[in-house]
Chains A and B, each alone.
Chain A
Amino acid sequence: MTERKNCIEISAIIPVGVRHADMAALCRDYGAALAQLGRPYELVVVLDGRYPHVSATLEELQRGGEPIVIVALTRGFGESTALMAGFERARGSLVVTLPGYYQIVSSEISKLVNALGTADVAIGLRWPRAGSRFEAVRRGGFHRALRWMTGLKFSDLGCTARAMRRRVMEEIFLYGDQHRFFAVLAQRLGFRVVEVTVRQSPRDRFEGRYRLRDYAHRALDILTVLFVVRFTKKPLRFFGMIGMLLGGIGMLLLLYLVVARLGFGEPLAGRPALLLTSLLVVLGLQLFAIGLLGELIIFTHARDIKDYQVESVIQFAADSAKPAAADAAQDHVTAT
């Protein structure tokens, strides 16, 4: 058993949230699909919250010989944290994340894994897609907004079936709702990301309704990603631009009011214009100040937050007699 554990090649991380299918059946499905690849695998099931019955059925499966690792979190932390927690236990050199419910036809997993020949991350793209016209429009709108904001073209970020090299998971840092933007973040880290069309599972249907709150959350998500992707290193460009715009408008209006009052004797009372302009000026100033604070944070912590990723350092062994600073022979040593 231990020997087998040591040579695991593929780790599948399955976060189980509120929306989950019959896990025993699902794991058997996934297991069968992964076994077809002919490489030793394991299933890391992360229970994101308390699901005692799921845990019980999985333990039974475990006793039946299925290579399952169960990670039970004490409460629901959200999918991002669940993925990270699952990865801590994963031992494979390839990591596959799979949804805790039926989303893709499980035999399609091999497609994702095989796509890793040329790419670092392969994410699923469910096609043909079931669901109403309205859903398709909504989805299209979301991805178009994302593309417009970040310049990255993806069409199914909702698909949580992904395959990746271990390194991707080691370097990426997910928190909050960022698991949704896994592909975007991975691309930002310089990994090659490809979308692979997979067949959608016939049982992939979301029963709940999207409430207004969900839409608001998605919109905020996009804003977060925009900020993370574009401006974390230059907060002043982000806040400063908005601040200067608002403050500038405010200043102009203020000037106009002053001229009108002093030069032409137009009364100020009874008009809220002065209040509006001062609010604008103040808002602009404060945004600018926030941008400066951001710059200050980055400047004083620049050595901790590195904004580049080194893929490899290449140096060949010293064969002649004049090595200047010859470290040990390193060919493809990784550094971060």
Chain B
Amino acid sequence: MIVPVYNEQDNIVPLYSAIVRALEPLRWSFEVVLVDDGSTDATLAHAINLARSDSRLHIVKFRRNYGQTAAMAAGVEHASGEVLITMDGDLQNDPADIEHFVAKIDEGYDIVVGWRRDRQDNFLSRRVPSRIANWIIAKVTGVPIKDNGCSLKAYRASVIKAIPLYSEMHRFIPAVASMAGPRLAEMEVRHHARRYGTSKYGLSRIYKVLLDLLVIKTVISFTSRPLLWFTLLALPTLLFAMLAFSYTAYAVLVRGGQFPLPVAGSGFIFAACTIMLMSSGAIGELVFRLGDVRERDFARLTAKSVGATSDSQELRK
């Protein structure tokens, strides 16, 4: 159970008791990792008070605010359970849903993603952009998840621990994780309106999300084949170069006219660019070979849970 919190002083106590209430009757033993993302209010003090009476609560404290992805990564690293569940610290998710998530993992799924079917947020400023963003993300990454923004998710620990989490990746964890070919399931969750505190999101993140999406798309589809990707990138320049060269040849040889310097020159430039791009691809291969993201690791990870029943809710792979 991983909960990143940032300036949620009013929410933390009710949140914690809700989690305990939801998890205690279940047959699994649990721990709660609270990641304090450099809160500037009394969040930490409240949390320490809670921890004093409950050894199942771990608090990972950041020195400053690093953002949600970093908080998730720290939580994942610190957590020791077999099933990791992440949720927001703002009480908009209902801890009572956790039970179903864990049950799904038990069924053999590697990742279970929440879907806030009826969201309790402002329609125009939150729900419409989110709907569009989710549609784009699903189209681009090929992982059809209806609600990427829902932070209530459950993971098999071995899978999530193998996925690199950095920058602002937390929104795309299922997409990145699709590299490993996990069994994905989606669960409807209850969603509550915010009771205390203010939302920390705004519309301004759209541009960042789009660029990140581009990165993730390239990363997941081409990490293991950088040369191919760069060659694709180089194709248009190669085409331009060929066009320019053939025009030059045509002008000089067939029409016997003057040598068309600008056209030939740009042909050379594009040809040079093609070579440079392909060399970048070669460097990319080198980088990948030296890096620590290995497809066979992923293969091993997901192969472990063979025997999962195929279900109508199973999404891909």
Contacts and interface: CB of A to CB of B under 8 A. Distances in A.
Contacts of A324: 29-31, 56, 81
B240 interface: yes
Given A286-B273, A300-B293, A310 B59 contact: no
A226 interface: no
With most chain B CB atoms within 10 A of its CB, the pick from A301, A320, A325 is A325
A313 B59 contact: yes
B29 A240 contact: no
21 contacts: A190-B64, A234-B211, A237-B211, A275-B265, A278-B266, A281-B237, A285-B277, A288-B233, A292-B218, A292-B230, A295-B219, A296-B226, A301-B292, A302-B166, A305-B166, A310-B63, A311-B62, A314-B47, A314-B58, A318-B55, A326-B55
B177 to A, nearest CB: 13
Interface size class on chain A is: 35 or more
A220 interface: no
B140 interface: no
A269 B265 contact: no
B211 A313 contact: no
Contacts of A277: 266
Nearest to B44: A314
B57 A308 contact: no
A307 B59 CA distance: 19
Contact of B60 (A240, A282, A313, A320): A313
A271 interface: yes
A214 interface: no
B87 interface: no
B244 to A, nearest CB: 8
Contact of B293 (A275, A299, A311, A313): A299
A310 B269 contact: no
B263 A304 contact: no
B91 interface: no
A323 B218 contact: no
A173 to B, nearest CB: 16
A38 interface: no
With most chain B CB atoms within 10 A of its CB, the pick from A277, A289, A313 is A289
Contact of A316 (B55, B61, B223, B263): B55
A293 B283 contact: yes
A236 interface: yes
Contact of B237 (A234, A285, A300): A285
Given A240-B211, A289-B233, A293-B280, A300 B291 contact: yes
Given A289-B233, A289-B280, A308-B71, 8 more contacts: A233-B167, A236-B214, A240-B214, A282-B272, A303-B292, A313-B61, A315-B55, A335-B78
Contacts of B223: 296, 299-300
A62 interface: no
